[in-house]
Structure 1
């Protein structure tokens, strides 16, 4: 893989800080992560946002599940595993798959906008629609522009457009992701998991099952619902979403995931890139799923990974 293909963005690294890999969603590219890259680099972290096969600078390549997993594995190795692996939508499903296949690469996983089992009966309808759109005269360009203009804030639209849109990949993605078993994969590793969804995301259908699947593998789980956000939660509410990433990264630092975590522990996340009004945990909509025989998911994290002081 050529270096230009993955668009590394690396800051001077503060010792003890867990590196971060950001994996984009379908049809988008690494440029969707501009706000998160800026905040995480400001926090002294090495950050890499790769372009998946068929996307961004890799448009024209064929998307396959194994090829996408290889792309994530390569940048995680390069930036210094174990990493905080962050993925949205397609990137979230890939993050779950990478964590199951290569548990040593992943210190913690933030999986956003991917709490629907891909083998859902809806998948067939989505696949048929994707094939029709890709076969149209403009490969769905006008439809894509219409949807982006009406559902994504202006700053987010600019970030999406900067890397171009992969309009001919959706059918291949649906077929590849449809062959995965995210519930089974979540149960195959025990590193901490943050499941993040926008309040109005249509991919929240099975979120309780995703929480329980991660628990089945012994993982500490935090479930976050961001009010006012839709599917592209990182673009709809970038500050709230980024604060989840900073919280996750600092918890991993305190646990020593950042290769010498004593130097990173106890340091509060930097806020120089966070320009919206402060958001409380209640406003973020943090929720947990509990059962009588087990403590809450947030309680597990608080005990096993001490919060930053």
Structure 2
């Protein structure tokens, strides 16, 4: 059976952030589904809820699992929600997991400060669009520069989504994860704050830290991220043939 890839975007963005990865996987004839969470992308008019996010991921994973082993990858907020999903006491049908830019516990003063800053930016007349465009212009290569905003920015969903993350029991979830797993962070990613704890809780997981890279690792270093997708797919292919490379 062919490995199936499911991709889950981060906060404010949408499935379009994965364009470089979708194009890469299509070139290898690997089936891939990039979802839009509630309140984002094609679902901008829907309210964001954590239950809705879990339901969206589960629907994509459950459908993909009928055709082959599922490689799930989530970025930032999507990675945190995917971590909680993969680490359920009753594990979902996920065969391997890539957690991108999401090694932080979203609680306490750190989350409060992040929400305060996000609300201040959202209160600007353009909701921070000029800042977002400057950031992507200065940090992302031309081929991925438009991808994060191509599906629109979910300004209205941002604070609700951030607040909802505080109920996730990521420590318990991480302890439950036994499938092949990779953490990937940019060197200058602000969400590396609990990186050591995350890797300690999942001792079999591999950690990749990409030099000279920020939080937007999938778009800033698409070839590096695509190589990790290739590694994860190859790992699942080897397991299906009865060879466990881990």
Question: Would you call these one fold, judging by a TM-score over 0.5?
Answer: yes
Query: Residue 27 in 1 paired to residue 6 in 2?
Result: no
> In the alignment, which of 130, 133, 136 is matched to residue 118 of structure 2?
130
- Partner Cα separation in structure 2 for residue 155 and residue 169 of structure 1: 27
Contact 1:141 1:167 in 2 (8 A): no
Q: 1:86-165 counterparts in 2 under 5 A? A: 86-101=73-88, 103-165=91-153
Q: 1:51-90 counterparts in 2 under 5 A? A: 51-80=36-65, 82-90=69-77
Contact 1:28 1:164 in 2 (8 A): yes
| Runs of 4+ more than 4 Å apart | none
Q: Which has the larger radius of gyration?
A: 1
**What is the CA distance between 1:161 and its match in structure 2?**
2.7
- Partner Cα separation in structure 2 for residue 148 and residue 69 of structure 1: 29
The structure showing larger relative contact order (alpha-carbon pairs under 8 Å, at least 6 residues apart) is: 2
> In the alignment, which of 158, 168, 174 is matched to residue 170 of structure 1?
158
State the TM-score, normalized to the length of structure 2. Answer: 0.91
Q: Residue 141 and residue 183 in structure 1: after superposition, are their counterparts in 2 closer, same or farther (change >3 A)?
A: same
The number of residues matched between the two structures is 243
State the TM-score, normalized to the length of structure 1. Answer: 0.74
> In the alignment, which of 190, 210, 213 is matched to residue 198 of structure 2?
210
Q: 1:36-55 counterparts in 2 under 5 A? A: 36-55=21-40
Q: Residue 178 and residue 151 in structure 1: after superposition, are their counterparts in 2 closer, same or farther (change >3 A)?
A: farther
1:29-51 deviations in Å (ceiling 9; x for gaps): 11111111122222232100001
Query: Residue 306 in 1 paired to residue 238 in 2?
Result: no
- Partner Cα separation in structure 1 for residue 197 and residue 48 of structure 2: 28
1:101-158 deviations in Å (ceiling 9; x for gaps): 3523210110010011111421111112223333443333333333333333322222
Give 1:247's aligned residue. Answer: 231
- Partner Cα separation in structure 2 for residue 167 and residue 108 of structure 1: 31
Unaligned runs of 5+ in 2: none
Give 2:210's aligned residue. Answer: 226
Unaligned runs of 5+ in 1: 1-15, 257-261, 266-303
